[in-house]
Amino acid sequence: MKRTLLIFGLMMIGAATYAQDQNRNSLYSFYNVGAPKEVDRLGTNPEFPFIKNMSTKQQVYQAIKRNADKDNREMAEFNNILSGIGFMNGAKDVEASNITSANLPSGTTGNMGDGSLSSSYTRLNLGDDGVKAWKVTGPTGYVYFLAKCGNAFYPNNAKGTACISTPVNISAKPVEITATGQKNEVTDKVYVYYHMKRHKKHPKFAMAGIPDQNPSKPLLLNTQMKTDVVPETFRVTVNDPDQSVTVCPDSAAVVNANINVEKISGYAGFYPGRPEEQYKQVSKHAYKKAARKIRKIERKEQKVARVTNTRVSVTQDVPRKV
């Protein structure tokens, strides 16, 4: 009695599996397929002409979208095939990212569609180079469309193996990456002035940068250029996605993870000081002595300019309050 129940239980499991496969398009069924029919030529009986002879996956995607709303027998079969791999709305659910270029080796066996919108068990016998195809991957499986003719093809290498869900664990150590920093240049200028008495008649050079209400005209004494380059360092880490992925035969598993980039060092460099630090108060005597030296430099500039017939100038304008 126990043996009878066991056999009956196995028969019920087999019948349920068969019924489940029957709900899908017959393209995906390999029950009682028999010996494969040899196929050594493509294009004589196209199943879906609207995607045949396409050169790129983008062209295939656009052709599918152009025909997605058509209500005819051809698109009904096309949508039925796509629903078998998880696209509930058929062609309307397909995205360009679901389509990839593939090559099926010669000798591959599987179910192949034809112009009558039926399928038969075949062996591709198309030379050493195999045959180009477009692989459409859905949420629960995949199917090929042969590029030459647009016929659907489902290989028999899966042998009914189901897709499985498996957890994903990512182990990654933090990595520090150093990038070359940018070159920064800062010009420091030093001006001198002396405090003038109020009863003197002179131009008003008081400005925000000079901590004096009655200064003389600022005199530029020194200009110094500072440059510095400091590399920048980043820490790159990958977060464990804490997720499961569905893995199917002959289908790439997609894992999404967060990549974090943290800047841990950067350019410190030189930066201009406060405006008042550019101006130094000196005595009137020191100021006039410096002014005489500047006039000497200017005369030499003028002499060099006359001899070389080239304008020479190292003087710079005094910054004014805007």
Delimit the domains of the chain by residue range.
Answer: 2-162, 175-236+269-308
**Is 269:232 a contact under the CB 8 Å cutoff?**
no
| pLDDT of the chain, 322 residues: tens digit per residue | 444 433 334 344 344 343 344 456 889 988 777 889 999 889 899 999 999 999 999 999 999 999 999 999 999 999 999 999 999 999 999 999 999 999 888 889 999 999 999 999 999 988 888 899 999 999 999 999 999 999 999 998 744 444 555 677 776 677 777 776 666 677 778 888 888 876 565 556 766 678 787 888 888 877 777 776 667 788 888 776 666 665 655 556 667 777 787 877 765 555 555 666 788 888 888 888 888 888 888 888 888 888 888 776 655 544 544 3
Per the listing, tokens 């569609």 go with 113
What CA–CA distances, in Å, run from 301 to 190, 257, 289, 305?
Answer: 21, 66, 19, 6
Burial of 133 (0-12, 13-18, 19+ CB in 10 A): buried
Whether residue 53 contacts residue 69, with contact meaning beta carbons closer than 8 Å, is answered with no
Q: Are 80 and 27 spatial neighbours (Cβ–Cβ below 8 Å)?
A: no
| Structure tokens given for 201 | 């008649």
| Residue 177 burial class via C-beta count within 10 angstroms: exposed 0-12, middle 13-18, buried 19 and up | exposed
Cβ-count burial 308-318 (b if 16+ within 10 Å, e if not): eeeeeeeeeee
Q: Starting from the edge strand earliest in sequence, which strands make up the sheet with 37-39, in order? A: 37-39, 119-124, 109-113, 152-155, 142-146, 131-137, 99-104
Q: Note the pTM of the prediction, 2 decimals.
A: 0.46
- Euclidean distance between CA atoms 171 and 176, whole angstroms: 16
Instruction: Tell me if 212 sits within 8 A of 195, measured CB to CB.
Output: yes
Beta-strand relationship, 279-281 and 184-193: parallel
